[in-house]
Amino acid sequence: MAGILEFAPAIVLLPFLSFLIALGAGRYMPKGGALAGIGATAGSFLLAVATFVAVSGGQTYNQTIYTWAEGLDAVDLTFGLLIDPLSAMMLVIVTLIAFLVHVFSLGYMNDDGQTGLPRYYAGLGLFTASMLGFVVADNLLMAFMFFELVGLCSYLLIGFWFRQDGPPSAAKKAFLVTRFGDYFFLIGVVAVFATFGSAAFAGPDAFPVLAEEALAGEHSVNTFLGMGEQAWFTVVGLLVLGGVVGKSAQFPLHTWLPDAMEGPTPVSALIHAATMVAAGVYLVARMYGFYALTPTTLAIIALIGGFTALFAATMGVVKKEIKQVLAYSTISQYGYMMLGLGAGGYVAATFHLMTHAFFKALLFLGAGSVIIAMHHNENMWDMGGLKEKMPVTYYAFLSGSLALAGIVPFAGFWSKDEVLYETLIHGLGGSPILLAAYAMGLLAVFFTGFYTFRMVFLTFHGEPRSETARNPHGVRWNVKAPLAVLGVLAATAGLVNMVPVEKLFGIKGIDFLHQFLDGSFDSLNAHHYAELIPYSSGYIGGEAGTVAIGAAVSLGLALAGAGLAYVLYNVPEPVEHTEKLGSIKTVLYNNYYQDEYQVWIATGVVQPISRVLDKFDQGVVDGVVNGVSSVSLFLGSRMRRIQSGVVSNYAALLTLGLTALLLGLGLIGGWFA
């Protein structure tokens, strides 16, 4: 396997190549360029797997491959590749999901007779390439650049159906809201350069390492605005976090994500499972060595995560459209990852990132399959009874739902449980903030179980509630195959890291992910992070006891939520029980009026200000300019009266002038003294 990592750039370049092919020649190709994309992502996936195997064998790779801007007497800005367990794992996830999404698109887009397919596949290719570039980035600047490209691609793909009103608006919102977060991120990037003179994630001048040494007093770094090192690092961490909150759709910048459902469903799967939204959390994990140094930042991450997990889950409870439910579940699940990272559970959060990628891609593709069957009607109240009509979709979707709800032994259970467990022990170790975040996360488990199975029952169980649900459109292999693959993964992916089993029964060595993530560079491995985090652990009834209690409570809550959904909705003719919530339902259905206030800020505050400024500019600033010209024109029109045309007057003026001159010179010359 020697040297396989040398081919890592190809993982990024292959999808980029498919972008170029689809853009340039897609219209002349069968399937509108899909085959190029499928081939490229398949190639990338194989390479990524090879990379993964090599990394498992202990290899790592950290090379600068391109100098973007060479600084004379200043820092070089470079691109490079950093392949370590974290990025290798992510590469596999992204390429796999991208490949499956490409295949699924054959069914969703091509079989549906959509137009503009070259544009679609070009967008997918660029999206995948951007995300892969982000994943392998070896420094913060490169990460930012690909982060932004990911944003561009989401704009292009969410707005794919640009001839309608909704998608362009949603695309604009997605880009603008994430841009707002990226604004802070960009300041953060600049600040990291200014502080450390380097933005590398790994290597001798890695900025997390420099920060660690600076805090240990080994050498000094530049800080700004008169702040101490700890305070300044916190500021920088929070600035970068702005981009994370925007892209990973955390409160309060989550509002773009539900709107982004306007895009084609395979794109939603890609955005939510593996690319854009994952990018935020991945970034925190990537520079975890830096975040672990600043307790304030960690606490804020944990709080944002816990709150978002609960907040989004409650909104998911009342939605009518299947994709809307999934959208809020995405926000909620990324909240868990943030919670895990903030609570010091680096491995747990990474684990959840992985399992979530599988089951969320599965759920979105499953929803896509349902939407094909329903002739693009997404309203769950028009569905029902699809179980018999589309068994493959049903069982795959069920597997994903069990994983999402966190039912043992599906993937989501293991990762979510580990996130909550890490939060619990570190909270018990003396951090009330983490305990509060834990409580929120725990409560969200119940809601997750409820809305997930409400969705399952409404869609697949009971009697069909519309004509299309009685005669659904069939789906072909290109839809079923990706579902089957992901269905298996959603059921089994959690088994790679059965920490509770290990702790409870003392079976050593089944926490494969822990071991894998430890095999990184010294400054980037999980073991190092565990030493850095500013938390201590506390237990109820010993380690095993805490594990058992935590797992039991979260599993219980998930089952309770699912059970409630079973009681309420697994009936032939379900009704909208959420009506009973009254005004609470209205608030939830309107997303706590989060959109309203953000739209209000844009149209009710910024736009009036800009109009007033425009008036000011036209009236006052330009008024002064025009005023100066008017005054000189007016003075001219008066002054020219002197020019009477009568020669005698000119002569008189001349004489007067001469006299005045003589008198003046005389006065100065002292003639009259």
Partner 1 sequence: MIIEALIAVTFLAALVTFVLPDRIAGKAAFALSLVPVLGSLVMWQQYDASGNALLGGNIAFETDVVWLQLGQYDLHWMVGVDGISLPLVVLTTILTTLAILSSWTPISERESQFYGLMLLMEANLLGVFTALDFFVWFVFWEAVLVPMYFLIGVWGGPRRKYAAIKFFVYTNIASLVMFIGFISLVFGLGDSISSLRLPEIAQALQAGQLSGFAGLSASALASVAFIAMFLGFAVKVPVVPFHTWLPDAHVEAPTPASVMLAGVLLKMGTYALLRFNFTMLPETARSFALPIALIAVASVIYGALLALAQQDLKRIVAYSSVSSMGYVILGLIAYTTYGVGGATFQMVAHGLISGLMFMAVGVIYNTTHTRMVTDMSGMADKMPVTAGIFVAGAFGYMGLPLMAGFAAEFFIFKGSFESTVMAAMPLFTGAAMFGIVIVAGYLLFAMQRTLFGPFEFDGDYEITEAPFHDVAPLAVLLLLTIVLGVQPDIFFTMIQEAVNPILELGGAF
Partner 2 sequence: MVPAQYYLILSAAVFCIGLFGLLTRRNALLFLMSVELMLNAANINLVAFSYYWGNVTGQTFGLFTMALAAAEVAVGIGIILVLYRNFDDVDVTKATTMRW
Cis peptide before 482 (omega within 30 of 0): no
From CA 629, how far away is CA 631, in angstroms rounded?
Answer: 5
**DSSP H or E segment with residue 64:** strand 61-69
Options 365-373, 497-505, 526-534, 604-612: segment touching partner 1 (CB under 8 A): 604-612
Of 620 and 663, which has the nearer Cβ to partner 2?
A: 663
**DSSP H or E segment with residue 65:** strand 61-69
Cis peptide before 572 (omega within 30 of 0): no
Which member of 1, 10, 67, 633 binds partner 1 (CB under 8 A)?
67
CA distances in angstroms from 432 to 264, 302, 334, 429, 636, listed in the order given: 43, 11, 22, 9, 78
Residue 16 as a binder of partner 1 (CB under 8 A): the answer is no
Of 60 and 223, which has the nearer Cβ to partner 1?
A: 223
Residue 655 as a binder of partner 2 (CB under 8 A): the answer is yes
Residues 247-286 that bind partner 1 (CB under 8 A): none
Of 176 and 215, which has the nearer Cβ to partner 1?
A: 176
> By C-alpha distance, which of 453, 424, 419 is closest to 559?
453
> By C-alpha distance, which of 81, 78, 57, 55 is closest to 68?
78
Options 254-262, 275-283, 288-296, 614-622: segment touching partner 1 (CB under 8 A): 614-622
Of 133 and 340, which has the nearer Cβ to partner 1?
A: 133
Of 239 and 404, which has the nearer Cβ to partner 1?
A: 239
From CA 304, how far away is CA 309, in angstroms rounded?
Answer: 8
Which member of 640, 668, 670, 673 binds partner 2 (CB under 8 A)?
640
> By C-alpha distance, which of 408, 405, 389, 412 is closest to 456?
405
Q: Which residue has the tokens 């959109």?
A: 595
Options 32-40, 470-478, 487-495, 619-627: segment touching partner 1 (CB under 8 A): 619-627
Residue 540 as a binder of partner 1 (CB under 8 A): the answer is no
Q: Which residue has the tokens 């159906």?
A: 161
Please report how close the Cβ of residue 179 comes to partner 2 at its closest, in angstroms. Answer: 59
222 touches, from partner 2, partner 1, none (C-beta below 5 to 8 Å by class):
partner 1
Of 505 and 671, which has the nearer Cβ to partner 2?
A: 671
Residue 191 as a binder of partner 1 (CB under 8 A): the answer is yes
Residue 172 as a binder of partner 1 (CB under 8 A): the answer is yes
Residue 72 as a binder of partner 1 (CB under 8 A): the answer is yes
646 touches, from partner 2, partner 1, none (C-beta below 5 to 8 Å by class):
partner 2
Please report how close the Cβ of residue 321 comes to partner 1 at its closest, in angstroms. Answer: 22
507 touches, from partner 1, partner 2, none (C-beta below 5 to 8 Å by class):
none
Cis peptide before 409 (omega within 30 of 0): yes
645 touches, from partner 1, partner 2, none (C-beta below 5 to 8 Å by class):
partner 2
CA 148 to chain centre: 11
590 touches, from partner 1, partner 2, none (C-beta below 5 to 8 Å by class):
none
Residue 613 as a binder of partner 1 (CB under 8 A): the answer is yes
Give the pair of three-digit tokens for residue 612. 């007033």
Residue 622 as a binder of partner 1 (CB under 8 A): the answer is yes
**DSSP H or E segment with residue 145:** helix 140-158
From CA 476, how far away is CA 459, in angstroms rounded?
Answer: 20
From CA 58, how far away is CA 201, in angstroms rounded?
Answer: 19
Residue 652 as a binder of partner 2 (CB under 8 A): the answer is yes
Query: Residue type at 635?
Result: L
Residue 648 as a binder of partner 2 (CB under 8 A): the answer is yes
Please report how close the Cβ of residue 463 comes to partner 1 at its closest, in angstroms. Answer: 37
149 touches, from partner 2, partner 1, none (C-beta below 5 to 8 Å by class):
partner 1
As a 3-state breakdown, the chain gives helix, strand, coil percent values, each rounded to 5, of 75, 5, 20
From CA 473, how far away is CA 377, in angstroms rounded?
Answer: 12
Total residues interacting with partner 1, rule: CB under 8 A = 53
Which member of 127, 193, 334, 358 binds partner 1 (CB under 8 A)?
193
Residue 643 as a binder of partner 2 (CB under 8 A): the answer is yes
Total residues interacting with partner 2, rule: CB under 8 A = 10
Please report how close the Cβ of residue 629 comes to partner 2 at its closest, in angstroms. Answer: 20
Of 30 and 645, which has the nearer Cβ to partner 2?
A: 645
> By C-alpha distance, which of 47, 204, 33 is closest to 132?
47
Please report how close the Cβ of residue 104 comes to partner 1 at its closest, in angstroms. Answer: 26
Find out whether 304 and 238 touch, Cβ atoms under 8 Å.
Answer: no
What is the DSSP track for 80-143? EEEESHHHHHHHHHHHHHHHHHHHHHIIIIITTT-S-HHHHHHHHHHHHHHHHHHHHBSBHHHH
219 touches, from partner 1, partner 2, none (C-beta below 5 to 8 Å by class):
none
Options 32-40, 257-265, 444-452, 611-619: segment touching partner 1 (CB under 8 A): 611-619
Q: How many helices (H) and strands (E) does the chain have?
A: 30, 2
70 touches, from partner 2, partner 1, none (C-beta below 5 to 8 Å by class):
partner 1
Residue 612 half-sphere exposure, CB side, CA atoms within 13 Å? 6
Residue 180 as a binder of partner 1 (CB under 8 A): the answer is yes
Please report how close the Cβ of residue 671 comes to partner 2 at its closest, in angstroms. Answer: 16
Residue 668 as a binder of partner 2 (CB under 8 A): the answer is no
Residue 179 as a binder of partner 1 (CB under 8 A): the answer is yes
DSSP lists the bridge partners of residue 80 as: 64
Residues 128-167 that bind partner 1 (CB under 8 A): 141, 144-146, 148-149, 152, 156, 159, 162-165, 167
The DSSP letter of residue 498 is -
Q: Nearest-5° angle of CA 232, CA 277, CA 600?
A: 80
Of 583 and 643, which has the nearer Cβ to partner 2?
A: 643
Please report how close the Cβ of residue 620 comes to partner 1 at its closest, in angstroms. Answer: 9
Whether the CA torsion 346, 349, 351, 353 is positive or negative: it is: negative
Find out whether 206 and 263 touch, Cβ atoms under 8 Å.
Answer: no
Residue 169 as a binder of partner 1 (CB under 8 A): the answer is yes
Conformation bin of residue 453: beta by default, left when phi > 0, alpha when psi is -120 to 50: alpha
Residue 620 as a binder of partner 2 (CB under 8 A): the answer is no
Is 347 strand, coil or helix? helix
Which member of 2, 216, 225, 647 binds partner 2 (CB under 8 A)?
647
Find out whether 97 and 273 touch, Cβ atoms under 8 Å.
Answer: yes
Which member of 602, 605, 633, 665 binds partner 1 (CB under 8 A)?
602
Query: Residue type at 241?
Result: L
Is 543 strand, coil or helix? helix
Which residues of this chain interact with partner 1, rule CB under 8 A? 67-74, 141, 144-146, 148-149, 152, 156, 159, 162-165, 167-169, 172, 175-176, 179-180, 183, 186-187, 190-191, 193-194, 222, 224-226, 602, 606-607, 609-611, 613-614, 617, 621-622, 625, 629
Contacting positions for partner 2 (CB under 8 A): 640, 643-648, 651-652, 655
